[in-house]
Amino acid sequence: MIEHPRADELIEAVAGWVESIRPQLNPRDAFLSRVAVNALNAVKRELSQGPAAEVAARSRLSALLGLEADLGALNAELCERLRRGEMDVATPGLLAALKAGIEDQIAIDQPSYVSVGRR
């Protein structure tokens, strides 16, 4: 049986290699390599945390809207209800659902920002 490296292992290997050559790069390329490593780490977090965040978002929006649908349809329905004025900041659970979704996304995109915000 052939075993292939998992996506997270490949990302980690590439990020590690880029980090290992960064000290030898000129300042501009060193900066760009740091950007590349940050992007790779964001992809790794998306792979590991994204599915659970999507399930949680779908659950929150389903409960809020009283609908069972995929996340895209739920987001579209939420936006439509907001546009029509059927929901607003006074809608029970709306702000909590939006805040939880934003925190989940920021935990993937910029985890150090979420940890500061949750203190």
What value does the mean pLDDT take over residues 59-76?
A: 97
What value does the mean pLDDT take over residues 15-33?
A: 97
Q: What is the dihedral of CA 16, 18, 19, 23, to 10 degrees?
A: 150
What predicted TM-score, i.e. pTM, was given to this entire model?
Answer: 0.78
Round the average pLDDT of the chain to a whole number and report it: 93
Identify whether 2 is part of a domain.
no
* pLDDT surpasses 70 at 51: yes
Total number of domains constituting the chain? 1
Identify whether 18 is part of a domain.
yes
Please, which pLDDT band fits residue 112 given cuts at 50, 70 and 90? confident
User: What phi, psi does 93 have (nearest 5°)?
Assistant: 90, -15
Residue 75 structural domain:
7-112
- Per-residue tokens: 8: 């997270």
Identify whether 49 is part of a domain.
yes
Identify whether 75 is part of a domain.
yes
